[in-house]
Structure 1
Amino acid sequence: MKLYNREWTRREIEARVGRIEQIGGVQRMRGTEGMEDAVEFIRVRTGAGLSYEVLPSRGMDIGLCEYAGVPICWLSPGGIAHPAYYDAQRTEWLRTAAGGLLMTCGLMNVGSACEEEGRQYGLHGRIHHLPARHVAAAGNWIGDEYEIGVKGTIDETTIFGDHLRLTREIRSSLGENVIRIRDVVENVGFTRAAHMILYHFNFGFPLMDERTIVECPEAAVSSRGHRAAADGWGRWQAPEPDTEEQVFFHRDIRTDSKPIARIVNDRFPLCSGESQSVCVELTWDKSRLPNLVQWKMPGQGIHVLGLEPANCFVEGRAAERAQGTLVMLEPGESKLYELELAVRTRK
Structure 2
Amino acid sequence: MARCRCFTFLIALGFALPTLSVHADQRYVLTSTEQNLHRDSWKLSGGNWSVEKKALHGGKQEGVDLITIDNGVLQIDVIPTRGMSVYEVRSGDMRLGWDSPVEDIVHPALIDLESRGGLGWLEGFNEWMVRCGLEFAGHPGTDEFEDGAGGTTTRDLTLHGKIGNIPASEVEVIIDTAAPHRIRVRGIVYEKFFYGPKLKLVTEVSVVPGQDSFRIDDTVENLGALEQEFQIIYHANFGAPLLGAGATVHAAVKSVAPMDAHAAESIDSYATYLRPTAGFVEQVYLVEPLADEHNRTGAVLHNAAADRAASMHWSVEQLPYLTIWKNTAATEDGYVTGIEPATGYPYNRKVERAAGRVPKLSPGQKRRFTLDIGLHRGEESVKTVVDQIKSLQGDHQPIVNREPPRS
Range into which the TM-score falls when normalised by the shorter chain: 0.7 to 0.9
Of residues 251, 257, 262, the one that matches 2:300 is 262
Structure 1: distance between partners of 2:93 and 2:132: 28
2:145 is the counterpart of 1:121: no
CA deviation profile, 1:140-187 (whole Å, cap 9, x unmatched): 4424x3321000111111111121111001110101011111111011
Classify the secondary structure of the residue corresponding to 1:166.
strand
Report if the CA contact (8 A) 2:190-2:200 is conserved.
yes
User: 1:310 offset after TM fit, Å?
Assistant: 0.5
Equivalent in the alignment of 2:48: 23
2:146 is the counterpart of 1:93: no
2:217 is matched by which residue type in structure 1? R
Equivalent in the alignment of 2:400: none
Report if the CA contact (8 A) 2:252-2:289 is conserved.
no
User: 1:93 offset after TM fit, Å?
Assistant: 1.1
List aligned pairs for 1:125-140, cutoff 5 A: 125-140=161-176
1:36 is matched by which residue type in structure 2? Q
Equivalent in the alignment of 1:230: 267
Structure 2: distance between partners of 1:135 and 1:110: 24
User: 1:77 offset after TM fit, Å?
Assistant: 1.9
Equivalent in the alignment of 2:369: 337
Equivalent in the alignment of 2:192: 157
Of residues 282, 287, 291, the one that matches 1:250 is 287
Equivalent in the alignment of 1:207: 242
2:212 is the counterpart of 1:180: no
1:167 is matched by which residue type in structure 2? V
Structure 1: distance between partners of 2:217 and 2:352: 25
Classify the secondary structure of the residue corresponding to 2:269.
coil
User: 1:20 offset after TM fit, Å?
Assistant: 4.2
Structure 2: distance between partners of 1:124 and 1:338: 20
2:207 is the counterpart of 1:169: no
Identity of aligned residues (%): 27
Classify the secondary structure of the residue corresponding to 2:303.
strand
Equivalent in the alignment of 2:87: 63
Bigger-Rg structure (1/2): 2
1:58 is matched by which residue type in structure 2? R
Structure 2: distance between partners of 1:141 and 1:252: 37
Classify the secondary structure of the residue corresponding to 2:164.
helix
Higher helix share: 2
2:121 is matched by which residue type in structure 1? W
CA deviation profile, 1:65-95 (whole Å, cap 9, x unmatched): 2121542311422231001012121111111
Report if the CA contact (8 A) 1:282-1:342 is conserved.
yes
Report if the CA contact (8 A) 1:103-1:128 is conserved.
yes
Structure 2: distance between partners of 1:47 and 1:9: 12
How well do the aligned residues superpose, as a CA RMSD in angstroms?
2.0
Task: Give the TM-score normalised by the residue count of structure 2.
Answer: 0.75
Classify the secondary structure of the residue corresponding to 2:243.
coil
User: 1:324 offset after TM fit, Å?
Assistant: 3.0
Structure 2: distance between partners of 1:88 and 1:118: 18
Structure 2: distance between partners of 1:44 and 1:285: 25
CA deviation profile, 1:220-270 (whole Å, cap 9, x unmatched): 0111111122222211121111110000000253544111100123658xx
Of residues 244, 256, 274, the one that matches 1:221 is 256
1:210 is matched by which residue type in structure 2? A
Report if the CA contact (8 A) 1:25-1:174 is conserved.
no
1:28 is matched by which residue type in structure 2? K
1:134 is matched by which residue type in structure 2? E
Classify the secondary structure of the residue corresponding to 1:320.
helix
Of residues 284, 299, 304, the one that matches 2:329 is 299
2:129 is the counterpart of 1:105: no
2:362 is the counterpart of 1:327: no
Report if the CA contact (8 A) 2:142-2:154 is conserved.
yes
Specify every segment of 5 or more residues in structure 2 that has no aligned partner in the other structure, as ranges. Answer: 1-15, 21-43, 144-152, 381-407
Task: Give the TM-score normalised by the residue count of structure 1.
Answer: 0.88
User: 1:138 offset after TM fit, Å?
Assistant: 3.8
Specify every segment of 5 or more residues in structure 1 that has no aligned partner in the other structure, as ranges. Answer: 1-7, 13-18, 269-276
